[in-house]
Amino acid sequence: MANLNARRHERIDTPRGEPDSRPVSNAAARDKFRQYLIKKGLRVTNQRLAIFDAAFERKEHFTAEQLLDYARALDDSVSRATVYRTLPIMTESALLREVDIGTGEKFYHPATGESTQVAQVVCVDCDKIFEISAPFMEWYGSTVSSKLGLTPVSQRLQVSAQCDAFRRTGNCPRRG
């Protein structure tokens, strides 16, 4: 959110750790990413893998700037530009989901795979983002077609909500 992240990372001359040797919790998704790159004729670079791994380490939603930090912890040579250039690749491959809650910056989250029809619930107190399934959105798409003669491509349902506990106690139990 703030631009306190302007810290310089001077490139070190030690050889970078082999990306394949990194402990990977999401080997399956990682392989999908690798396959996607190859299929598209894109190159499998250490930076792209580091960015991917950084993204899939995360449980919470993150911003591009945060992802830059996470990825740099894995590979010091990752730059902001490459993060921004890699994010669309990961969203197009459906491995990452982009979430725009209207705050100016976009959030990202590893796609859970199962459900494409989810709603984001954004807590105005915590700023946390929850995802819950919204199966009726599928049905809703068909009503759009019939009413407007348009074929739905994608849908987003976002709910802003306040945390009852936070309002009472000044602390959100979900935090941390």
Interface residues with a copy of itself (CB under 8 A) are 98, 100, 102, 106, 119, 121, 123-124, 130, 132, 134, 136-137, 140-141, 144-145, 147-165
Residues in contact with DNA by CB under 7 A are 1-3, 9-11, 38, 41-48, 63-65, 77-82, 84-87, 104-106
Q: Among all chains, which residue has been given the structure tokens 């100016």?
A: 104
Q: CA 85, CA 48: separation in Å to the nearest integer?
A: 9
Structure tokens at 54: 């950084």
Q: CA 90, CA 97: separation in Å to the nearest integer?
A: 8
Identify what 121 binds: a copy of itself, DNA, none; CB under 5 to 8 Å per kind: a copy of itself
Residue closer to a copy of itself by CB (options 46, 141) is 141
Residue closer to DNA by CB (options 106, 157) is 106
Nearest-approach distance from CB 132 to DNA, in angstroms: 24
Residue closer to a copy of itself by CB (options 73, 132) is 132
Rg value, the chain, Cα:
19
Residue-by-residue DSSP string for 76-119: TT--HHHHHHHHHHHHHTTSEEEE--SSSS-EEEE--SS-S-EE
